[in-house]
Amino acid sequence: MKHSERRKILPNIIEEARAINPQLIDIRRAFHRDPEISNQEERTAEKILKILEEIGGFEIRSGIGGHGILADLRGENTGKNIALRADMDALSIQEETGLPFSSQNPGIMHACGHDGHMTCLLGAAKLLKAHQSELQGSVRLIFQPAEEMAPTGGARKMIEGGALEGVDAVFGLHVWPNLPIGKIGTRPGSLMAASDHFSITIKGDSAHGAMPQLGHDALVAGAQFISAVQSIVSRNTDPLEACVVTIGVCRAGTRYNIVPGSCYLEGTVRTYSPEVRKNTEVRMRQLLAGICAAMECEAEISYENGYPALRNNPRMAEYMIEEITNLFGAENAVKMERPAMTAEDFAFYLEKVPGAFAWLGTQATDDSECWPLHSSHYKSNEDALWRGAAFLASLALNFKS
């Protein structure tokens, strides 16, 4: 079948996706009511398996990389093997949306939209099964646990479990409240940053707050490091390169009149360039050693390389733009000018197989407040569900090379 002939099915995909949106909303809300954190997605996996079995036709493997699921659908024609991925886990956040289907699990919430990702992929499964006769080659659905468990993540275990065996290309998406509903954005090359994690323990000697000369203040050393570490961004990094150093945890002291004998710091480094990533760690260690020497303290640092930068294959990113254009019109295909400093372990898949990742717009068109991802108030726009399902299905149905 010629490529132009195959595109005749796209209007059906749009209509069919719209038609199943009420079902998709019910599915998404069921996930949202019962969120589970990384590596504990047992009930979530059960829901996915039940829906896949109801759809039928998929060869299913479960228990991959923990609670991960692989589901293969073979077309009636020879062709390429495409993988589509959705993440499953929720965050340790107490929901404050007030929605009638709010999380029933205290302190856990789908605040990053993974409930929507799973729903879009299950919607794509329904559409692909309906068009199995038009499918060239095969499609593999990857339901991945533990995406939020940085810096380790769940993608590597899924890859070790065979998620990419025999796969020619891999695609994924993420809901994106910074884009208006109806628009889908991507770009060739860097789309999201590398994400590293560090923790530091500075050890000094405690003393009476009225006689600080008798101790070695670990908190002052920590405070100097917090300030000095930003010079890595301002003075050791090319101004045209991106680098973020954030310290999100600082713990020291037990009482107002005691010089702290220890200080604990924890944070993250975000970069795109491998060279900047390496240099940031080196300079961080040098600064810490120098400050502690000057303050007569000692320090231990643990620095973990987490998710790599997410880099879209240029050809695959252009294919995504082409599919968005054909499905929803050129006005809704957004070629992003800049990447984001957030991270995604989908990057591990892209290190193994050509592919691309996209942002699915969820921003309301009215004046309602738009909360960011990872907020306890985050509300996903459910009108994006059918769009995500149609988009993922079309990526599999129309892929040629």
Q: Are 302 and 199 in contact (CB under 8 A)?
A: yes
Closest CA to 118 of 217, 185, 51: 51
| Cα 12 to Cα 127: distance, rounded to the nearest angstrom | 10
Two tokens, residue 216: 């070695």
| Residue bearing tokens 């994690």 | 197
State yes or no: is 134 an active-site residue. Answer: no
State yes or no: is 266 an active-site residue. Answer: no
Paired sense of beta strands 298-307 and 136-144, if any? unpaired
From the CB of residue 96, how many other CB atoms can be counted at a distance below 10 Å? 14
| Cα 197 to Cα 153: distance, rounded to the nearest angstrom | 12
Annotated catalytic residue, options 36, 87, 89, 344: 89
| Residue bearing tokens 């509903």 | 181
Kindly state the helix (H) or strand (E) to which residue 158 belongs, with its residue range. Answer: helix 155-160
Q: Is the dihedral of CA 44, 45, 50, 56 positive or negative?
A: positive
Annotated catalytic residue, options 34, 41, 147, 344: 147
| Cα 123 to Cα 136: distance, rounded to the nearest angstrom | 19
Instruction: Report the catalytic residues.
Output: 89, 147
